[in-house]
Chains A and B, each alone.
Chain A
Amino acid sequence: MDPISVTQLLQRIDDGEEAAREQLAGEVYGELHRMACRYLSQERVDHTLQPTALVSELYLGLFRENTPLKLKDRNHLLTTAARAMRRLLIDHARSKNSAKRGGGADRVDLDHIMDFYEERGVEMLELDEALTRLSAMDPNLAQVVELRFFAGRTNAQTAEIMGLSERSIERAWSTARAWLRNQLSADSGESPGGSQFS
C-alpha cells in the first residue's frame, strides 16, 4: 500500500465512488495485518505490542513522505483504520476459536496483539457482537468505540475526527462503556459487580 494509491483512493471516495471506499478498507486491513506480523516478529520492545500503535504506525507509514492530506481525508482514513483494526482482531479471535490446532507463525504473532485486550478480560467475539448491535441502534456511538478502543484515539482526537465537541465525545464514551458493560455482563451471566472487567 503506497501513499499515492491511498491518496488516489481517497480522492475517488471524495468523488462519491462507493467501490473505492471498500477498496480502501481492504487495503488498510491488509496493511494492518502485514504490519502486525512484521512488527511483531522483529519486535525489539519486550512488551506486548499495542494494537493502537499499529494504527499510528500505519498512518505514519503512509504519510511520512509529507504528503499534503486534507483533514477530511485524514479523518476518513483513521476511521477506516479503526474499523480495520476491529476486524483484524475479530477475525483472529474467530480463527483462534475454530482452529485450536495448527496455524502458522502468523497466528502466534497475532495472539500477541490480542493479549492486550484479553489481559483485560474483554472477550473479543462477544464485544464484536455487542458492537454490531450497538451500531444498529446508534452508529455514531459505535464509531466512538472503534476510534477510542481499537484505534486508541484520545477524546480530543476522536472529536476532531468525528467533527464533534470533545465534551460530547467524552459523554458518548461514558455512555458506550456503560452500555457495553451492561451487555457483556448480562451476556456472560455474571453479576454486574463480577470480576470480568475488574
Chain B
Amino acid sequence: MVDMDPHQWKRVRELFEACLDEPESQQGAFLDAADAPVGVIEEAKSLLESSRQNLSAFEPPTPALESFPNLDPLDITRGTTIGHYTVEGRIGSGGMADVFVATQDQPSRKVAIKVMRGQLSERAVKRFQFESEVLGQLSHPSIAQVFDAGEAELAGRQVPFIAMEYVEGAEDVIHYARRSQLDLRGRLEVFLGLSDAIRYGHENGVLHRDIKPSNLLISKDGQPKVIDYGIARAENQLDSDRTMTGEIFGTIGYIAPERLRSSQRADTRSEVYSLGVVLFELVTGRPPMDTKGLSFVQAVDHMERQEPPRASSLAADVPEGIDWVCFKALANDRDRRYSSVAELIEDIRRYLSGETVLAGAPSTSYRMRSWLRRHRALASLVLLGLVGTIATIVGTNIGLQRAETKAELARTQTLLAEKATKRAERETARAESEAELAKTQTQLAEEATLLAERETIRAESEAKRAETEATEAKRQASVSATVLNILEETLKKANATHGGVDARVSEVLEAIDARVDKALANEPEIANRMDSLLATAYLGSRDIPSARRILERASERPETGTRFDTELKVADAYIDQLTGRLPEAEEKMRGLVELTANADTKATRTIHLDATRGLIAILLSMGKAKDALAVVQAVNPEIRSGAGQHARTAFLRIGCDVYRMNGQMDKAMESVQQSMELARTPPEDSYELITGLRSAGALELQRGRTKSAGTFLEEAASKSTEFLGVDHPETALTGVVLSEVYVRLAQYDRAIEEYDRIEALPAFGKLTLRNRIMQADTRAYVLANMHKNEEALAAAEKAVGLLNASIAEGDPVRLSCQAMRARLLIQLDRVEEGLSLLEELNQLATRLHGPHSRTAVSMQQELTQGYKTLGNFEKVIKITTQQIADLSDRMEPDQTHLWNARQLRIEALVELGRWDEAQTAIDELRTLVDLEKSPGRKLRIDKLEAITAAKQLPQSTPTPGASAGTNEDED
C-alpha cells in the first residue's frame, strides 16, 4: 500500500476526527457530504469502517497505576492514625512498605501495620482486599493473623495498608535457635512447628510464597509464628513500587531454582525447597548456597549447576538421617523433592522417633547413589527396570489400586480446577478488554480466578496426599516383593566386599543375575523382563558370555507374549553382531524390525525403533552404507515420533553415521544435533550424549573441521570418564577418536601417548574388532609420519594380524591396513614383497569396488611409485596406461589422479627412450589440460618436454630418475 503524503493525510485525519464528534449513525453520511476530494473521503471512510471493528488488540495493557505514584516518604510518626489504628512506632522499612506497631481500640490490641507506599488502581485495591480476606480466614496458632486490609486516608491521599497480628519480642528462627543454644532436637521441633503452619496453608489452598527466616519468627514465649503469609502475592498486586535490586539478593537463596530459572509457578514443592534451605541453615548455621557477592545471574547459575552440599560436610554433628532430609528437600529437580510439606514433616518426625528416614535409608540409598553416580548410564537401565518390575508385581495389590483410584480422582479434580482457572482467566482477559464498561465483571471474573486457583492448590494438595497413600501402599507391598529382596541382598553383598561405595558394575550385575532365575521361577514375565535388562546391561559392558548365558536361560522359559520376549530377541541379534556373525545378525534383526512394524504402543514402538537402529548398526559394520540409508528412510515417521526418548535419541544419532557414510554431511550434522539436543533434555541421557558427541566429532573430522571435532570429542571424553568411568569401552573408544584429532593436528607424540594409555586399559580389549584394527592401523600411520618405519610396520602387522573372517574381503578397513603394511615394506626396502601385496590389493579393490574407486586408485598410485623406485618403468607404463583408460571417462582431465598418471607415464616413456610416445603424450596433455590456469603444471610440462628433447640428443646420457618433479599430492 502506498502511503499518502503528509499533507493529504492531514486532511484525512481532520475529516475522520471531525466525524467522530457526530452521532455514530450519522458518521457515514457526514463523510459522504464532506467538502473534500474523493480520495480523502474514501480514505476517511475506510478508517471509519476499521474503527468500528474490534480494536482491542491495540489496547495497551491496563496500567495498574492510574497516575504516577507519589513516592514521598510517608509522613507517619508516633500518634498518626491509620484507619482504626494509632501508630506507636516504626518496626521496619522495606523497599515498598513501612511496618509500624500500632494499637487498636476495638478490640483493644497491638497490631503490626504494613503501609504501602504508592497508590493503587481501583482494580488493584479490590484484588488486594479479596486476597487479604482469604488470608484472614486462615486460622492456625503459628500463623500471624491478618486482621484487616484496606485503604486509609493519610494527608489527603489514600494509602493501602494491612493490619496483622503483632508478634511480641519476635526473633527470626535462625537467630532464636542460635541465641537459645537449642540442640538438634530443639531446632527440629521449632522447625516442625513452623512447617506445620505452612502445611496448614497448603491444605487450605494458600501458598506462602516468600518463605525465609525473616518471615519465620519465634515469639518471646517460644511460639512459632509465620508472618507475611501470602502477602508476597498481595504485594505484587501493587505492581510497580517494589525494589528490584538489593532485596532479591537477600532472599534469592530461599527461592526454588525452577522459579528463578523459568518462572515456574510456585507450588508446594517450591515451598518444600524454601523450607529445606531454612532447615539446612538451622542445623548447620549457614545456608546451603553462598550467593553473597554474586550478581543475580551468577547466583542463579550457581544454584542451577551446584547440588547443595551435604549438611554434614558443614557441621559434623548433623546426623545422616537429617542429612538425607535436607538433601531431598533441596533437590534441584522438584520432582525429586518431597512432594508436600506434610511429607517433609513426616520424615523429620520419623527421624525424631528413631525410625529410618524415607529420604535415604542409609543401607541402600546411600550406597545406591554413589554406585549410581559412578555408573549412571548402565545403572539407570537396570534400576529403572527394577522399579518398573516392582510396580508390576505390586500392581495387583488391591490396596494400591484403591489408593490409586483415589489419587486419580484427586488428579481429575486438579484438572477440573485447573480448567476452571483457565476458563476464569480467559473470562478475565475478555472482561478486561471491555474494561471501562465492565469493571464489575472483571472483578467477578478475577475473584473466580482466585477461587479457582485456590481450588487447584487445594486439589493438588489432596492429590499429593492420595499419592502419598498410594506410595505407602506400594512400599508395603514391595516389602514382600521378591525383586526388592534381590536388590537388597545384592547391594549388601556389594557393600560387604567393597566397603559399600565402589562395587563394580559387573559384580552387582552378577549378584542380581544369580538370584533372578530361582526367585522368579513362577513369574516368567518378570523374569524375562529382568533378564532382558540384564542381557542389555551385560552387552553394554561387552560381557558377551554372560549375556549369552542369560538369553539361554530365558529361552527355557515359556514365551510370555509380552514385549520382553522381543527385547530378548533383540539382545540375541546384538550378540551376533558383537561376535562378528554379521549376516546372521542382519537376518535376525530384519525379522524383528518386520515383526514390530505395526507397533502401536510406546513400548513396542520403542522396540521397533531400537531393532531398526540395531539393523542399521549391523549394516554399517558390514560396510553397506547405502542399505543402511534405505532403512533409515523407510522408518515410519509415526512410529519414530511415538517411541521412547532414549530410542529416538539413539536413532537420530545413528542416522548421523548413516548420512555421514553416504556423504550427506549436512544432514548428518543436523541429525546428530537433534540427537544431542534430545539427550541434553533433562533427565540427561548421558550415554547417548556421549555417543552423540563422538559421532559429531567423527563427522567434523571427516569434514576436515579439526577444531570443532576437538571440541565435541573433548566434551565426549570428559563426560564419558565422568559417567562411565575411565575403564569403560565407550570411554576407550572416545579416546581413540579424540586421538585422531591429535593426528590431524600433527601432534603425533601426544597421539601415541594417548594410544599407549588407552590400549593399556582392560576396556580396550572389549572394543569391537574393527575398532581395534583401525586403532592399530592409525598407529602405524602416525609412526610412519614420525619416520619410525620399523615400529610402524610392527603396528601395521598387528592390524593385519587381527583381521579375520568377520571383516569382509573388500572391507575398506582390511584394504587400508594391508596397504599400509605394503607401503611400509617398500619403505623398508622390502620392495618386491610390498609390490606383490599391492598388486593383490589392487586387483581385489578393482574387482570389488571398480577401477574408479578411491581404494583402487590409491593402490595404483602406490604401485606406480613402487615400480618407479625399482626402475621397472614397463610396469609403470602398463599401470598408468590402464589407469588413464579407466579414469578418463569418469574424471575431468585436470583432476589430480589423472594428471599424476599421465605425468608418470610420460616420465616412464622418457626413461625408456620411447620419445615419440612421450612427445605424443605431452602434446595430448597440453591440449587436454588448461595449463594457462595452472602455472605450476605448465612449468612441469615444459620441463618434461625439455628433458625429453635433451635426452633425445645422442651425446647426452640419460640421468636415471631425473623427472620433472614429484607428483602432486592427492587432493
Contacts and interface: CB of A to CB of B under 8 A. Distances in A.
Given A43-B263, A66-B71, A60 B240 contact: yes
Nearest to A151: B60
A43, A138, A176 interface centre (most CB from chain B within 10 Å)? A138
Contacts of B10: 138
A6 interface: no
A99 B209 CA distance: 35
A154 B209 CA distance: 32
B58, B239, B262, B266 interface centre (most CB from chain A within 10 Å)? B58
A192 B50 CA distance: 7
A138 B232 contact: no
A41 B13 contact: no
Interface stretch (B62-70, B778-786, B851-859, B898-906): B62-70
A198 interface: yes
Nearest to A74: B68
Contact of B50 (A108, A145, A182): A182
A60 B71 contact: yes
A2 to B, nearest CB: 11
A186 B1 contact: yes
Contacts of A157: 67-68
B886 to A, nearest CB: 46
Interface in B745-760: none
B518 to A, nearest CB: 53
Contacts of A197: 53-58
Contacts of A56: 63, 65, 239-240
A34 to B, nearest CB: 10
B1 A183 contact: yes
A66 B72 contact: yes
B81 to A, nearest CB: 25
A150 B13 CA distance: 22
B55 A177 contact: yes
Contact of B63 (A153, A172, A176): A153
Given A45-B233, A148-B60, A177-B58, A133 B3 contact: yes
Contacts, number: 154
B33 interface: no
A44 interface: yes
B71 A112 contact: no
B239 A53 contact: yes
B16 interface: yes
Contacts of A151: 60
Contacts of B68: 59, 157
Given A35-B244, A52-B60, A60-B71, A41 B260 contact: yes
Contact of A175 (B16, B261, B263): B16
B453 to A, nearest CB: 8
Q: Interface size bucket, B side?
A: 35 or more
B53, B72, B255 interface centre (most CB from chain A within 10 Å)? B53
Contact of A174 (B51, B240, B263): B51
A98 interface: no
Nearest to A57: B240
Contact of A179 (B50, B57, B71): B50
B61 A50 contact: yes
Interface stretch (B41-49, B764-772, B815-823): B41-49
B61 A192 contact: no
Given A57-B240, A171-B17, A44 B9 contact: no
Q: Interface size bucket, A side?
A: 35 or more
B244 A57 contact: yes
B241 interface: yes
A49 B9 CA distance: 36
B17 A175 contact: yes
Majority DSSP secondary structure for residues of A touching B: helix
A181 B239 contact: no
A192 B239 contact: no
B807 interface: no
A120 B56 contact: yes
A152 B55 contact: no
A63 B60 contact: no
A121 interface: yes
B58 A149 contact: yes
B361 interface: no
Contacts of B255: 42
A41 B255 CA distance: 11
A59 to B, nearest CB: 7
Interface in B895-933: none
Interface string B201-230: 000000001100000000000000000000
Nearest to B248: A42
B244 A38 contact: yes
A186 B43 CA distance: 14
A43 B55 CA distance: 30
Contact of A149 (B51, B60, B260, B265): B60
B278 to A, nearest CB: 18
B260 A42 contact: yes
B521 interface: no
Given A37-B297, A50-B61, 16 more contacts: A39-B244, A42-B255, A42-B296, A44-B233, A52-B60, A59-B68, A64-B71, A145-B58, A152-B63, A153-B60, A153-B63, A157-B68, A171-B17, A175-B13, A193-B53, A197-B55
27 contacts: A40-B263, A41-B260, A41-B261, A41-B296, A42-B252, A43-B263, A44-B209, A44-B210, A44-B232, A45-B236, A50-B61, A52-B60, A52-B63, A56-B63, A57-B244, A60-B71, A137-B3, A148-B60, A152-B61, A179-B47, A179-B50, A181-B50, A182-B47, A183-B1, A192-B53, A197-B58, A198-B54
